[in-house]
């Protein structure tokens, strides 16, 4: 630990971060202990929310930007295991204190922070969020909510016990088209739904071998803190930090845990689903290191007021997804085998790309509701849903107008930069006592549990698993060992 700390200290000095006037102590970097009590431009007695951010690189940088855009937010603390991420974030928020270790941050700052934002890799979500909530802090946590099913249930229970404001980071949940699709389905526009197809050709899997040997740990990175509660593993360049952890069993949740959460969200919410009873994943055999690169996961849910007696849900991911069937054939379809993609691996795609499909082709990512009175196609994302009946598109402009006016949805905004802060601001407003969040942990934990059951099914390819939601156990005893992990002390 000392050698790694000294390397990081030397890196900070040479990189110019030391010129920011920071003081290094143990594994914590902190600016002067200053308590912010008001925001410039607001009345001195106006309430504010002081946020602490765990993970400020990649999506964490986007989360930080969106939270900071709220006029009643003060960025109080920044935490990341990578000093380069910290330097970039601190340049934009020089008043914030800086930490490498979220445990030290929460312990030291205490009542100086009002809410915690978690944007670290998936395996960090629950340990950090649970600690924050134990300290009575409202939490905004990126999707998927957790790495293990047991963690989702624990976070849901703790948030309820402490009556805390919570929100999962699925920002498109607050977009016009997703709200509209939810209301259209619940209005009965295609009758009761019996099947949902959802897909993404994105590839957060890895079919190769586990790397051998080790590489020098970059001087800006605290590798032990990056691993967190995960088991000890040698650092290997290009496999873990900063961008490949989603592919790997110990740290991420595969494509299901990335795009699946976004694309599942609207059908799951619209149909008022609980957790599935039956799960089956058609994929390659497990290799105990990386997730399968292609998955077809079939769920069966108990019925709700918006579905038939039971609901079948099929998820497809990986290059070429989805495999087409009659439910996915569009009017004037030009594609009869599988979805085409300009970049099959989608390695350079962000998780929120919105591609406009060519005529007769499925959108690159999206969902199809199949009901008693037709189908509803929901592209991902920022595109209006389309109704299909007997092989023809049906004009639903009147229904859209009626629902938009009735529920005060406003007009569609086709600007992600303008739309995305809404979900974050909703969380801050709820912390201020102004309204409620739309993706609290009560909802997010159930959605995440559904996602993770599909991930676990990948350990048992082509085998049908039976889930008892009340007991939180599989009928197949061998699958229960994957519901929770063994935490490392670090």
Q: Determine the pLDDT at residue 8.
A: 56
DSSP class of residue 348?
Answer: T
**C-alpha to C-alpha distance for 46 and 150, rounded to whole angstroms:** 40
pLDDT digits (tens, 9 = 90+) for 276-292: 999 999 999 999 999 99
Pairwise CA distance, residues 355 & 246, whole Å: 22
pLDDT for the residue numbered 417: 85
CB atoms within 10 A of CB 105: 27
- DSSP assignment string, 155-200: HHHHHHHHT--EEEE-GGGGSHHHHHHHHHHHTTTT-SEEEEEEEE
Higher pLDDT, 272 or 36: 272
- pLDDT computed for residue 16 by the predictor: 46
Alpha helices in 256-330 (DSSP H): 261-270
Higher pLDDT, 270 or 8: 270
Q: What is the pLDDT of residues 153-207, one digit of tens each?
A: 999 999 999 999 999 999 999 999 999 999 999 999 999 999 999 999 999 999 9
Angle value at C-alpha 473, between 471 and 475, nearest 5 degrees: 115
| Torsion (CA) 125, 130, 136, 141 in degrees, nearest 10 | 20
Query: What pLDDT, on the 0 to 100 scale, is given for residue 7?
Result: 55
Element (H, E) at 376: strand 374-379
Q: What does the alpha-carbon distance between residue 223 and residue 85 come to, in Å, rounded to a whole number? A: 14
pLDDT of residue 25: 35
Nearest C-alpha neighbor of 469 from the set 444, 486, 450? 450
pTM, two decimal places: 0.90
Amino acid 11: pLDDT: 53
What is the DSSP pairing of strand 386-389 with strand 295-302? unpaired
The per-residue pLDDT of the chain, averaged, comes to 89
Average pLDDT over residues 262-283: 98
Report the C-alpha gap between 213 and 242 in whole angstroms. Answer: 19
More confident residue, 413 or 78: 78
pLDDT score of 389 more than 60: yes
Question: Which residue matches tokens 């994105």?
Answer: 202
Instruction: Give me the pLDDT at residue 359, please.
Output: 72
């Amino acid at each position: 630990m000392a050698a790694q700390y000294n390397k990081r200290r030397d890196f900070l000095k040479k990189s110019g971060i030391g010129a920011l006037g920071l003081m290094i102590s143990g594994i914590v970097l902190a600016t002067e202990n200053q308590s912010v009590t008001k925001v410039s431009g607001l009345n001195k007695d106006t309430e504010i929310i002081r946020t602490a951010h765990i993970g400020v690189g990649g999506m964490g940088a986007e989360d930080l930007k969106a939270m900071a855009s709220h006029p009643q937010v003060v960025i109080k603390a920044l935490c990341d295991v990578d000093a380069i991420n910290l330097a970039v974030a601190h340049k934009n928020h020089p008043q914030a204190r800086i930490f490498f270790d979220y445990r030290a941050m929460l312990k030291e700052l205490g009542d100086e922070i009002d809410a915690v934002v978690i944007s670290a890799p998936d395996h960090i979500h629950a340990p950090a969020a649970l600690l924050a909530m134990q300290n009575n802090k409202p939490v905004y946590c990126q999707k998927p909510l957790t790495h293990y099913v047991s963690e989702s249930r624990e976070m849901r229970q703790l948030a309820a016990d402490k009556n805390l404001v919570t929100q999962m980071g699925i920002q498109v949940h607050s977009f016009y088209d997703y709200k509209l699709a939810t209301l259209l389905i619940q209005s009965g526009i295609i009758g009761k739904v019996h099947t949902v197809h959802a897909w993404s050709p994105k590839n957060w899997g890895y079919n190769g071998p586990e790397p051998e040997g080790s590489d020098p740990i970059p001087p800006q990175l605290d590798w032990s803190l990056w691993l967190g509660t995960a088991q000890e593993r040698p650092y290997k360049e290009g496999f873990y930090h900063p961008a490949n952890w989603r592919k790997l069993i110990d740290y991420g949740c595969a494509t299901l845990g990335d795009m699946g959460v976004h694309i599942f969200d609207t059908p799951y919410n619209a149909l008022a689903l609980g957790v599935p009873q039956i799960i089956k994943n058609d994929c390659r055999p497990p290799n105990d290191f990386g997730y399968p690169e292609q998955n077809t996961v079939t769920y069966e849910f108990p019925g709700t007021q918006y579905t038939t007696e039971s609901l079948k849900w099929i998820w497809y991911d990986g290059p070429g997804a989805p495999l087409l069937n009659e439910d996915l054939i569009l009017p004037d379809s030009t594609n009869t085998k599988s979805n085409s993609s300009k970049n099959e691996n989608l390695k350079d795609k962000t998780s929120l790309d919105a591609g406009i499909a060519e005529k007769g082709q499925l959108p690159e990512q999206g969902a199809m509701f199949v009901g008693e009175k037709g189908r509803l196609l929901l592209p991902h994302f920022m595109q209006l849903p389309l109704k299909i009946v007997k092989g023809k598109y049906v004009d639903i402009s009147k229904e859209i107008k009626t629902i938009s006016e009735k529920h005060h949805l406003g007009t569609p905004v086709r600007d992600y930069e303008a739309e995305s802060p809404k979900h974050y601001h909703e969380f801050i407003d709820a912390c201020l006592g102004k309204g409620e969040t739309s993706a609290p942990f009560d909802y997010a934990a159930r959605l995440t549990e559904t996602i993770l059951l599909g991930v676990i099914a990948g350990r048992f390819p082509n085998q049908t698993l039976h889930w008892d939601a009340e007991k939180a156990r599989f009928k197949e005893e061998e699958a229960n060992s994957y519901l929770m992990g063994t935490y490392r002390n670090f």
